[in-house]
Amino acid sequence: MSETPPSSVEDGNKNKAFAQFHEMGLDDRILKAVSKLGWKEPTLIQERAIPFMLAGKDVLARARTGSGKTAAFLIPALQKVLEEKHVATEQTIQVLILAPSKELCKQIKEHIGHLTVCCKRDLAFTDVSPQVPLEAQRPLLIDKPDIVIGTPLRILAHMSEGNLDLRKSLKLLVIDEADLMFAFDHLSDIQAILKKLPSIHQTFVTSATISEDLRQLKKLTLHNPVILRLEEPPLPTSNQLTQYVVKLERLEKAVLLNAIFTLNMIHGKTIIFVNDVNKSYKLRMFLGQYDISSCVLNSEMPVFSRCHIIDQFNRGHYNIIIASDEQTLERPDVTKHCDKIGKRDKEAGVARGIDFQFVSNIINFDFPIDVSSYIHRVGRTARGENQGTALSLVSLREIPVFQMVEAKLQAMMPENEKVFKDFKFDLGQLDGFRYRVRDAWFRCTAAAVRDVRKKELRQEILKAKKLEYFFEDNPKDFHILKHAKTGHGLPHIRHLKNIPEYNIPEYFRAAKKTLSKRNQNTKESDDAPKSKETSRMLKRNNSKSVKKFMNKKSDPLRSMEFSGFQKRKYSTRRTHKN
Q: Is the pLDDT of residue 8 over 70?
A: no
Cα separation, 48 vs 42, whole angstroms: 9
Greatest mean pLDDT range, 181-195, 389-403, 406-420: 389-403
Residue 234: how many other CB atoms lie within 10 Å: 20
H or E segment and range at residue 176 = none
Q: List pLDDT tens digits, range 477-534.
A: 666 666 665 544 566 666 777 777 777 777 676 655 554 554 455 454 445 554 555 4
This prediction has a pTM of: 0.70
What is the fold, at CATH topology level, of the domain defined by 241-444+490-497? Rossmann fold (3.40.50)
On the CB side of 459, CA atoms within 13 Å amount to 10
* Mean of the per-residue pLDDT values of the chain: 78
Q: CA angle, 533 as apex, 527 and 535 as ends, to 5°?
A: 30
Residue 329: what pLDDT? 37
Report the distance separating Cα 357 and Cα 321, nearest Å: 12
Average pLDDT score over residue span 181-199: 85
Backbone CA torsion sign across 202, 204, 210, 214: negative
Q: Is the pLDDT of residue 338 over 50?
A: no
How crowded is residue 332: how many other Cβ atoms within 10 Å of its Cβ?
Answer: 10
First to last CA, the chain: 30
Quote the CATH superfamily of domain 6-229.
P-loop containing nucleotide triphosphate hydrolases (3.40.50.300)
String of b and e for 172-208 (b: at least 16 CB within 10 Å)? bbbbbbbbbbbbbebbebbeebeeebeeebbbbbbbb
Which residues, other chains included, contact 450 with Cβ-Cβ below 8 Å and sequence gap of 6+? Answer: 339, 341, 487
pLDDT band with cut points at 50, 70 and 90 for residue 435: confident
pLDDT on residue 7 = 40
Give 347's pLDDT tier (boundaries 50, 70, 90): low
With b for 16 or more beta-carbon neighbours within 10 A and e for fewer, the 413-438 pattern comes to eeeeeebbeebebebebbebbbebbe
Question: For residues 106 and 247, what is the distance between their CA atoms, to the nearest angstrom?
Answer: 38
Domain ranges across the chain: 6-229, 241-444+490-497, 505-559
* Domains 6-229 and 241-444+490-497 fall in the same CATH topology: yes
